[in-house]
Amino acid sequence: MTTGVAIIGSGNIGTDLLIKVKRLSSTLHVAAMVGIDERSDGLARARRLGVATTHEGVDGLIRMPEFDDVELVFDATSAGAHAHNDALIRSHGRIMVDLTPAAIGPYVVPVVNLEAHLGATNVNMVTCGGQATVPMVAAVSRVAPVAYAEIVASIASKSAGPGTRANIDEFTETTSRAIEHIGGAERGKAIIVLNPADPPLIMRDTIYCLVEGEVDEAAVRASVDAMVADVQGYVGGFRLKQEVQFDTADHAYVPALDRPFRGTRVTILLEVAGAGHYLPEYAGNLDIMTSAALRVAERLVADRLGARA
């Protein structure tokens, strides 16, 4: 017996999520796929897979008989649309997993803080950059005090659809806050680069952490390696490009901290390749979002059903 879910948004992220649930989940099934363009590829694929669809948005979803079978709803639209979607879905008692940067609910990165938010009715999946880099900041901060963390996420321009481009500001703000609130850095900063290279390059992430005082390099490396292995449990294409690097950092003034800093700069270099379920391999930025969202949804549903038993 599987639990019904609905997906709002028939673009790249929503469609990849549809394929992942169909192929990978033994506990969930897609009861409905929602869009606003009847001719979209996502809705067409859903219909071919035998999934009920509507092109009338979230309001159309509520009117569908299949909605009675839905326990959880993924929102793969935009930050601007999410507020309306969330209010309507939660008023009907369903769980919302938000793949936009709207951040109405708590930030969740599965390997870092999912267990702390199992009772939430809306969880926010941060951003693709956040899902890739926040675990690395958390890995450093659990063994050393991180005063400042800065991440640079470079993604293929072809993998950035209209929703991503419309939410660049929300991306940087949401990711920066997640670096602090989940990653454990005193201050955080996020930068996104849309790389126009052709052929497209896979997602690359650079993480800089300024660590106060002496650093146990072996402990940091072990913590990072363990976290990478944890993320690989649901994102197979997640990997370090090289060993963690350590450099002396002696700055008379760090604007983000508004004070001098002396310690160590820890540098972590990552790449994220997609699984190729619907999107090309270079779209690791989208793959990590849908993979993380699926992991979260399965855990939230299992917890809710367990509480009812």
Q: Which sequence positions are flagged as catalytic? A: 128
What is the 3-class SS of the chain, one letter each residue?
CCEEEEEECCCHHHHHHHHHHHHHCCCEEEEEEECCCCCCHHHHHHHHCCCEEECCHHHHHHHCHHHHHEEEEEECCCHHHHHHHHHHHHHCCCEEEECCCCCCCCECCHHHHHHHHCCCCEEECCCHHHHHHHHHHHHHHCCCCEEEEEEEEEEEHHHCCHHHHHCHHHHHHHHHHHHHHCCCCCEEEEEEEEECCCCCCCEEEEEEEEEECCCCHHHHHHHHHHHHHHHHCCCCCEEECCCCEEEEEEEEEECCCCEEEEEEEEEEEEEECCCCCCCCCCCHHHHHHHHHHHHHHHHHHHHHHHHHC
Q: Which tokens go with 227?
A: 């976290």
Annotated binding residue 10 = yes
Annotated binding residue 145 = no
Annotated binding residue 77 = no
Annotated binding residue 12 = yes
Annotated binding residue 48 = no
Annotated binding residue 163 = yes
Annotated binding residue 166 = yes
Annotated binding residue 105 = no
Determine contact, residues 129/171, Cβ cutoff 8 Å: yes
Considering only CA atoms, give the Rg of the chain: 20
Annotated binding residue 285 = yes
Annotated binding residue 164 = yes
Q: From the annotation, which residues make up the binding site for NAD(+)?
A: 10-13, 159-167, 285
Q: From the annotation, which residues make up the binding site?
A: 10-13, 159-167, 285
